[in-house]
Amino acid sequence: MRRALWVLAWIGVALWSLFAWGAYGLLDVFGGFAAQNADAVTNHPETVEWLSWALSTLKGLGLAAIVIVWGLVSLLILAVPAVASLFLRRSQPGPSAYDPRIGHREGYPSGEPMRRIDRR
């Protein structure tokens, strides 16, 4: 069960990464296009320079925000199976009748079961 949770979490991170990569690429392309073509808005040189700078700054902040959000959501996705595996019981094999340190089949050094001590 724990292994299935981890596999699903990593698949979720992969899909989330594809989505974030697409958003990063779109913002990079369209932000760069808008910053380079700021002169389409106005012909005033100082306004064009300021608008180009503002759009480039917004593009840079947006790209940084995408990377930060991607990292936080990826950590959140991977935290789910980590926390869930703390609550899931580990499957451990039951005690064996053969103890290789002792070498007896019954598990007791003398081969006889232990005596019960009754309370009076």
Mean pLDDT, residues 71-98? 79
Mean pLDDT, residues 111-120? 68
Q: Looking at the whole model, is its pTM more than 0.85? A: no
Number of compact structural domains in the chain: 1
Residue 22 lies in a domain: yes
Residue 18 lies in a domain: yes
- Determine contact, residues 73/16, Cβ cutoff 8 Å: yes
Residue 62 lies in a domain: yes
- Determine contact, residues 105/113, Cβ cutoff 8 Å: no
Residue 46 lies in a domain: yes
- Domain residues for the domain of 61 are 2-87
Residue 61 lies in a domain: yes
Mean pLDDT, residues 2-30? 95
Convert 94-104 to b/e letters by CB count within 10 Å (16 or more is b).
Answer: eeeeeeeeeee
